[in-house]
Structure 1
């Protein structure tokens, strides 16, 4: 089956999932630099998720109390409150809100999912235990599908004071051949079975079309280790 990933905001308790944008949820399946999920992520980092800690989080990795990264320790504490210590992925599914529904690019798939939710309610007069998209049953589509994802020129790590640009940074494989189609952000922010913890895991990440003053431009980034 493989490991499945979501972009998870541990501060807002929200996430987006590539599935809702018509992409696969495995580690590499939405890594194209112009994929809708990555454009949606950057729109959130510029706005609602500005200053929050965000991870590319896989469903086959448990979290631990003593992991040397604060973001993972926060997820562990949340999983303890949920009642299943270490099982962060199920905790996210049952307690976080899926905000893919904010995006026009996800409308087709999300409308279908919300339709199933409403159908179950009307036919069975009961709801699933968790309202994934946080909808109001009286006005289920109100406020949804209004945002549009976009690409920004610079991806900025405010914690480490560095940044990269897909136009200026060489994106490389370990054999130093260029990769002109992928974005390294999932590798930098990933936590899961199929990858080592990302170098930017738990850092504050932002985006901008203006070059950040006083920050270092990364000349090279690698897509594999």
Structure 2
């Protein structure tokens, strides 16, 4: 069966649902650069946005219980949203696409202007894949035989993230080069 995902801010205890933006909930179904759901979350992560530099997780409903959940909660992070433990928000869709995606805990960045495209111009948005927990447990998840590419999936989960137009000194560029095959 297909696994559903939601964008969750574990710093503030808030979440955003893809269905509110007429997007599908499967990870690879909404993880595109100009998808309205992805643009809404990216806007939250921009300077002045409500989630700027907060800790972000893309939680799947098949994810392991106890990861990033409040102490004593029995279930997974996706369930926290469903059970009303987290507050649902519906941010506006940004029209400004940021040049860089930054991880402030790992001092890493991705140049969003050099992301690879495939199948006539589709570009996977790395945010959801980098912060995903539960990937590989259901249909619609991100699958690849490229072990290096796959090693990036979930590697930014629970980290402080922002979307910027410049990169601070001392940050290292990473290139996960996500594409669907």
Q: TM-score, normalized by length of structure 2?
A: 0.77
What is the deviation of 1:21? 0.3
Bigger relative contact order, structure 1 or 2 (CA pairs below 8 A, ≥6 apart): 2
Distance 2:12 2:105 in 1: 19
Distance 2:95 2:44 in 1: 8
Write out aligned runs for 1:43-54 (5 A): 43-46=43-46, 47-54=49-56
- Over 3 Å counting, the alpha-carbon distance change for 1:22 and 1:155 in structure 2 is same
- Over 3 Å counting, the alpha-carbon distance change for 1:171 and 1:209 in structure 2 is same
- Give me the CA root mean square deviation: 2.7
Q: Which residue of the partner structure matches residue 188 of structure 1?
A: 130
The counterpart of 1:210, out of the listed 144, 166, 172, is 166
Q: Does 1:63 align with 2:65?
A: yes
Q: Which residue of the partner structure matches residue 2 of structure 1?
A: 2
Distance 2:160 2:166 in 1: 17
What is the deviation of 1:57? 0.5
Q: Which has the larger radius of gyration?
A: 1
> After TM superposition, what 4+ stretches of structure 1 lie above 6 angstroms from structure 2?
none
Q: Which residue of the partner structure matches residue 177 of structure 2?
A: 221
Q: Which residue of the partner structure matches residue 36 of structure 1?
A: 36
Q: Does 1:96 align with 2:86?
A: yes
- Over 3 Å counting, the alpha-carbon distance change for 1:220 and 1:191 in structure 2 is closer
Q: List alignment gaps of at least 5 residues for structure 1.
A: 65-71, 106-147
Indicate the structure with greater helix content. 1
